[in-house]
Structure 1
Amino acid sequence: MKKLYAGFHKKYPNITVTFNNIPADSEAQKLVTMVAGGTAPDVAYMDGGSVSDFASKGALVNLESYIAGSTVVKKDDYVANFTENAIYNGSMYGLPFDAETTGLFYRKDLFEQAGIGGPPKTFAEMEADAKKLTNPSKKQYGIAIFGPESGYYVQPFVASAGGQLLSDDGKKAMIDSPEAIRGASFYTGLAKYAPPAYLNSNSYDGRVAFEHGEAAMYIAGSWFGGSLIGEAPKIRDKWATAPLPQDKECATQVAGDSLVMFDQSKNKDAAWLWLQYLSSKESLRTWNVGQADSTELPPIKSLLTDPNSFKGKEWLKSFADMMSCKIITTNSPQWGQIQDRLNSNLTKVVYGKMTAEAAMQDTQKYATKLIGG
């Protein structure tokens, strides 16, 4: 980021950017406190899922007029799936800066040892492969899943089964539909083929299970590939990626970060020049795929469809290809609270303390109280 700033400052020497580093897991709360205290920053790099929440509170600037007057930021070049979280009430309050889809990582060596020819393509194949790859006596399991993050990772399976969690406008909960329950039942049912020691962990801390061969399959975003390349070079030739197995249709999950401007900013014109510079094609390429350790997806079509974007990172191309798959709509300011409830309930399912149906029904009631519908 500071390298990008060096280029920006050379172009606009009269504008100084001061950086304030905040840990990702405490950023949202820190920004809430700053907004309440009247000390919000001019701009922020935040999780895309937080944009609508801050926008709904009047804390962010509607960027539509800035975008309309820009020759750099082209609204129609953004991938629709990546802009969903940046939009509130039909307007863009954030500029997607980096993104990822969710796919399947699998250990080729363990698949070969088990006599499996390739990655699973359907729900049924995934469960059969997970079972075949599981041998508790050797501490080998078919797939790693994580209860505390299950509300996130269950989403592609719900979508693939034909379900949704919220209506397209985000104003009605659809969590207890038969299709949503089917997707949740399948995902949580994989727990019996997962390393028990990691069921209450998270996908980042639990990544060592894949590296050490304790889990033959791993569901994650493209960030995981970068982690493996940097931290586990000894198994570089032993893993590959594939789209997530599907039920009725292919599906994925998207995540990413956006650039926003706060309404409290007293330097809005300068702030926009900084956001615009970061959102140029050159900056997006540099940040997402232009460095050895950068493995995110640039959120614009012109880079995603450029074969030069993935030179040396061909495994990343499959994540870009999944952008055509169905995703779950969670565009609601209350989604963070709903997902926390879903995480808690599905964790109980993973540990056999609740059924998937009951978990989804309870979350449906909770969501309906929050958003109505």
Structure 2
Amino acid sequence: MKKLLKRFGIVGMSLGVLVGLTACSSGGDTAGSGEDGDSDVTLTVGFWKGDSTSEDSARKKAFDAFTEKTGIEVKEKVYNDYETQLMTDLVGGTAPDVFYVDASNLPSLTAQQILEPLNSFIDEEENFNQEDFYEPIFNAFVEDGSVYGVPKDYSTLGFYYNEELLGEAGLSVADIPTNFEDLEGFLTTLKEELPDVQPMVFSPLLARQMYIAQSNGGKIVNEDGTANLDDPQVIESLEPLVDLYEKGLVRSADDLGDGWPGDTFGRGGAVISDEGAWMVSHLKTNFPDLQWGVTEVPTINGEKGNMAFTVSYSMNAATAHKEEAWQLINHLTNDAMKDYAEEASVLPSRKSVAEELNIDSDEIMASFAEAANYATAWQDGPNLTLIASRYENMFPSALKGEMSLEEALKEATESANRDIDNQ
């Protein structure tokens, strides 16, 4: 716990004091519930501010429906600096009863026994149906057989294409490669036919490249949580991406003077972009006249790969209202999921809800939903964020030819592991 507090900038408090405080935490504002748990309990739910007013509205409607159904009041607690403020509340014994957990943060929280295992609640719930969730999405919150959260929604990566620019290059959607091995030839054609347009824009982030880096069997993180970015198999897997950059076939948004690929692609500055489902609303809102579509990202070595980003509703292990907190989690990830996903325009983590919303037949969203069946969750031990930052410090040097990929990832690995040792 001391390491975790140091990471989030909360120092000067002993582990014993923290444990004592969290053990006394109730999360909610009021005393215990009645026999039916439906009248004198207020649950506090912690989350970061939504990306849109529609998401905020959908969440509030879901909370209101729960209160109407159970009589249990729900109090919202919005965090601006989520990780730091949540840990401060945990130290102070004022943490919410239920709160968002990003999959990448789960190992740090479970290691400190902050989250309540949900297995017993799930086992007693007749209508939960765990098999209804996309397996990689649900398993992002499972550790050593214990379930520490239920995913509310998710995003995967898609292969965005500009229809008009494809046509100008004499190509069509059918020409977009379905495997990574053919990508260079396709992008080369685009570069030759459209010399003033970047063939592809991408984000040089480990969160986007993790599935590529591990496609030859390497692992970016060792079992003990230390960095393994300089694994020869990882280097081999990333070399083709470096080659595409060296040939001018891919560029980052920063290279092209934009803040992120959504702006580059939206303004017609690139024909292709491999980005998450979050870019859909950006394009629809800010570039309504753009003609575009999405396919699944190309396979690597004949195998499908992708990244999954997901957030759960998880229970504070110190809450005094565990039964009521579970009722809320089950409601939000079960009965309320369809309305929430529809209004907030997010991808539901339940397959049955995706079917109800006809996502599998949607020209834009189907590719993202299909990837949820096989994507790699953005999670790998308590040091992943630190390891990613070191990767992102050094990977651009390899892309720009300032050092070899092997040298860059060796430096990233050594730097990450020094910091891990010093935590």
Matches within 5 A, 1:202-213: 205-213=260-268
Matches within 5 A, 1:120-199: 120-134=177-191, 139-147=196-204, 150-166=205-221, 174-191=228-245, 192-195=248-251, 198-199=254-255
Partner of 1:287 in structure 2?
340
Change (3 A) 1:327 1:8: same
1:256 is aligned to 2:305: no
Deviation at 1:166, TM superposition (A): 3.6
Partner of 1:360 in structure 2?
409
SS in 2 for 1:144: strand
Amino acid at match of 2:161: Y
Matches within 5 A, 1:65-104: 65-104=120-159
CA distance in 1, matches of 2:121, 2:289: 48
Contact 2:191 2:198 (8 Å CA) reproduced: yes
- Cα deviation digits, residues 93-138 of structure 1 (max 9, x gap): 1111111221211112112211233322222332233333348997
Contact 2:133 2:350 (8 Å CA) reproduced: yes
Partner of 1:47 in structure 2?
102
CA distance in 1, matches of 2:377, 2:67: 39
Deviation at 1:213, TM superposition (A): 0.7
Q: Which one of 357, 368, 371 corresponds to residue 322 of structure 1?
A: 371
Partner of 2:275 in structure 1?
220
Amino acid at match of 2:69: K
Amino acid at match of 2:385: G
Q: Which runs of 5+ in 2 are unaligned?
A: 1-58
CA distance in 1, matches of 2:316, 2:257: 34
Amino acid at match of 1:70: E
1:19 is aligned to 2:76: yes
TM-score scaled to structure 1, two decimals? Answer: 0.85
RMSD across aligned positions (CA): 2.9
1:6 is aligned to 2:64: yes
Deviation at 1:368, TM superposition (A): 6.0
CA distance in 1, matches of 2:314, 2:293: 35
Deviation at 1:57, TM superposition (A): 1.3
Partner of 1:265 in structure 2?
319
Partner of 1:229 in structure 2?
284
- Cα deviation digits, residues 28-47 of structure 1 (max 9, x gap): 22212221222211111232
SS in 2 for 1:234: coil
CA distance in 2, matches of 1:54, 1:217: 37
Contact 2:100 2:312 (8 Å CA) reproduced: yes
TM-score scaled to structure 2, two decimals? Answer: 0.76
SS in 1 for 2:392: helix
Deviation at 1:338, TM superposition (A): 1.5
SS in 1 for 2:310: strand
Change (3 A) 1:84 1:173: farther
1:116 is aligned to 2:168: no
Q: Which runs of 5+ in 1 are unaligned?
A: none
- Cα deviation digits, residues 165-207 of structure 1 (max 9, x gap): 246x6757553333321332223444333456624989x7441
Change (3 A) 1:84 1:342: farther
Change (3 A) 1:330 1:361: farther
CA distance in 1, matches of 2:261, 2:306: 21
CA distance in 2, matches of 1:322, 1:188: 25
Partner of 2:349 in structure 1?
299
Deviation at 1:364, TM superposition (A): 4.0
Change (3 A) 1:4 1:326: closer
SS in 1 for 2:120: helix
SS in 1 for 2:364: helix
Deviation at 1:22, TM superposition (A): 2.0
Contact 1:159 1:328 (8 Å CA) reproduced: no
Which structure has more relative contact order (CA 8 Å, sep 6+)? It is: 1
Partner of 1:331 in structure 2?
380
CA distance in 1, matches of 2:193, 2:316: 52
Change (3 A) 1:299 1:311: closer
Deviation at 1:161, TM superposition (A): 4.2
